[in-house]
Chain A
Amino acid sequence: MTVILGQTFTGISIGAVLLLIALGLSLTFGQMNVINMAHGEFIMAGAYTTYVLQKSISSAGISLLVALPVAFLVSGALGALLEWLLIRRLYLRPLDTLLVTWGVSLMLQQLARDIFGAPNVQTRAPDWLTGNITVIGGDDPLTFANSRLFILGLAVAAVVALSLTLRLTPLGRRIRAVVQNRDLAEVSGISTSTVDRTAFFLGSGLAGVAGVALTLVGPIGPTMGTNVIIDAFLVIVVGGIGQLKGTVIVAFVLGVLQSVLEYSTTVSVAKVLVLVAIVAFLQWRPQGLYTLRTRSLV
């Protein structure tokens, strides 16, 4: 029983990490249909931001809390810059965008290597995140790591914030208008290029926040983005384009699936099995979990 609960919690915390790294993509890929392979490097930028801040602020706790907004701004700015330089020229060519941003991702990785060196670096977690909470005591204890609970909380907070932004703010309304009908939005007086850039800023900023979270569970290195980006895209593909709730559900389901499979087989076999499960799922729902049914040719 404890094992099942423990594995489920591990799965949920893997899911929370997946959700955080995929959340920004649900905006840029899900809403705007841009495949940004450099998204992983925006995560990396967030992680290195945390690292740099910790060097200048001695308290690990304060530096972590400061890192959240700063990483959001740093990665968001990088994203807006990328949108302005390249992506806005490529909105009608999604596959080319994929390869172009892959090139950007290569360059950003090398930049990180040149600045911080190729070996991984580490941050110190603040004291209040290093411990565990004991849920069930006794001979067969069940404990939850504080850092994992923090990430879970962060993921939930990020989802709520994004969802409220999209639903309630004028910016959110504009983003949805542009997504649904670009031409109509334009003639209604919405500057679509400004909306695009702002949405990209938000999505990339969320990647930065994910980067801060990742420093709590692993090392920081130039290739950390590449390691997570494919998983993040798979979450969106399975969840359904443009569907926030799909992203949330799928992130947690894949997390638990991964954790259970890892427990009963090995990490590498689990990865392969998860992919098989995804291909099988797409047989059933080729457009992902949630879709908008429309009358369009494509």
Chain B
Amino acid sequence: MNVLKGRSVRAWAGFAGAAVLLFAIAPLALSDFRLGLLAKYLCTAMVAVGICLAWGRGGLLTLGQGVFFGLGGYAMAMHLKIADAGPGNLPDFMQLYGTATELPWWWKPFENPAFALAATVLLPMAVAALLGLFIFRRRVKGAYFAILSQALAAALAIWLIGQQATTGGTNGLTDIQGFFGYSLDDPVNQRMVYFVIAAALLLLMAIARQLINSRYGELLVAVRDSEERVRFLGYDPANVKLVAYVVAAGMAGLAGALFVPAVGIISPALIGIVPSIEFVIGAAVGGRASLVGAVLGAIAVAWAKTALSEEFPAAWTYFQGLLFIVALAFLPGGLASLAVLVRRRKAVERKTAVIPVGEAA
């Protein structure tokens, strides 16, 4: 009981510290430009929260999070483009490439802000639920699941590129001006977007923490480590995995939706195979099974990418490749496992073995 209390006190302290850092210190210490970049990194971290749940806890290597990020992002951007164009007008790119004189039917519902906002989270969750139902029910797992989810990311990106007249093709939806009536050119409003993103990240972390610590969270780890055994206990592992997959998809969708006002663009290049796998590396470096580790890892990798890739693009690619190799081959628990090691060393001689994060082979 005391252990539990100690843990929750530490968690509350952590949340409070993170809130102070995100809401007070970062806005004061960083320029508007830097704060904008941080907002972008935090969006990546939101995706990592879902990856921590699905992959770290559930063993589902989701290499297609870009799909859900993209669905959320496009849902938001479609609404903002329609709003930017004003009533009766077509979004700029449609006038440029298209021959259509009115909005395509599948754009129309997104004119409604409430529908668009709900869709940013619910659409990715619905797609994940449908796909997950098919995949998990038939016990497609491990590498098969990873490859299928990757193929999904590739397919969505290719499809978006192919439909230039209605999706903006390779360029995506760009040059977004306003966010529900607020001009995104105004630094004050940009700051507001940052605060929304920071709050959303903390909220997602709280949700994920509750799930991880619940009985469901224990069951999820059990499914990761021995799916068949769980089945013999009378559970249907497909449902257990489905919940984690759908929740992770919703989180990625929200991240994509908030990415749009923060950066002003969503495009196929942000959601295909390569960005999808990049979402995973942050979580892997920080520690896939540790919530805090995954979030910090995602922020750090996103930061390193910006810092390095603009000046030394070649060096960044080598570095990124090395990150994958070192983090996964030699430190599968991520940096968080180092922290755990240190903590265990400090702890009084309790008979505990250091167990590396296993692979749901």
Contacts and interface: CB of A to CB of B under 8 A. Distances in A.
A–B contact via C-beta, under 8 angstroms? yes
Interface stretch (A94-102, A145-153, A209-217): A94-102
A104 B148 contact: no
A230 interface: yes
B154 A268 contact: no
Given A94-B361, A106-B320, A100 B325 contact: yes
B332 A96 contact: yes
A230 B154 contact: yes
B75 interface: no
Contacts of B155: 271-272, 275
Interface string A89-128: 1101111101110111111011001100000000000000
Interface residues of B, number: 48
Contacts of B277: 99, 102
Contact of B324 (A106, A234, A271): A106
Interface string A126-159: 0000000000000000000000000000000000
B17 interface: no
Contacts of B329: 86, 89-90, 96, 100
Contact of A269 (B159, B328, B332): B159
A187 to B, nearest CB: 23
Interface string A232-244: 0110010000000
Contact of B328 (A96, A109, A272): A96
Nearest to A90: B329
B273 interface: yes
Contacts of A188: none
Interface residues of A, number: 43
Nearest to B277: A102
A93 B131 contact: no
Contact of B148 (A33, A93, A95, A279): A279
A268 B160 CA distance: 8
Nearest to A234: B151
Contacts of B322: 103, 107
Contacts of A110: 314, 317-318, 321
A266 interface: yes
A95 to B, nearest CB: 5
Contacts of B321: 103-107, 110
Contacts of A35: 143, 146-147
A236 B139 CA distance: 17
Given A92-B359, A230-B147, A297-B228, A106 B138 contact: no
Interface in B121-158: 131, 134-135, 138-140, 142-144, 146-148, 150-152, 154-156, 158
B236 to A, nearest CB: 15
Contact of B359 (A86, A94, A114, A266): A94
Interface string A258-283: 00000000111101100100110011
Contacts, number: 129
Given A268-B161, A286-B140, A279 B131 contact: yes
A contact face: mostly helix, strand, loop, or mixed: helix
A268 B162 contact: yes
A266 B317 contact: no
Contacts of B131: 279
B158 A93 contact: no
Nearest to A110: B317
Nearest to A280: B134
A102 B324 contact: yes
A233 B167 CA distance: 29
A107 B318 contact: yes
A98 B152 CA distance: 17
B280 interface: yes
Nearest to B150: A230
B263 interface: no
Contacts of A113: 314
Contacts of A286: 138-140
Contact of A103 (B159, B274, B320, B359): B320
Interface in B50-78: 59, 61, 63
B159 A272 contact: yes
B289 to A, nearest CB: 13
Contacts of A266: 162
Contacts of A99: 61, 277, 280-281, 284, 324, 328
A96 B163 CA distance: 35
Interface in B68-104: none
Nearest to A274: B155
Interface in B311-361: 314, 317-318, 320-325, 328-329, 332, 359-361
A260 B356 CA distance: 49
Given A106-B320, A110-B321, A297-B228, A237 B148 contact: yes
A95 B359 contact: yes
A278 B131 CA distance: 12
Contacts of A234: 147, 151
A168 interface: no
A4 interface: no
A96 B281 CA distance: 11
Contacts of B317: 106-107, 109-110
Given A230-B273, A272-B155, A103 B323 contact: yes
Query: Which 8 pairs across A and B sit closest by C-beta, in order of nearness?
Result: A103-B324, A268-B162, A107-B321, A106-B321, A286-B138, A110-B317, A93-B359, A103-B321
24 contacts: A86-B325, A89-B329, A90-B329, A92-B359, A95-B143, A100-B329, A103-B324, A104-B325, A106-B321, A106-B324, A107-B317, A107-B322, A226-B273, A230-B150, A230-B273, A233-B147, A234-B151, A268-B162, A268-B163, A271-B155, A271-B159, A279-B134, A298-B228, A298-B361
Given A35-B146, A104-B324, 4 more contacts: A100-B325, A100-B328, A272-B158, A286-B138
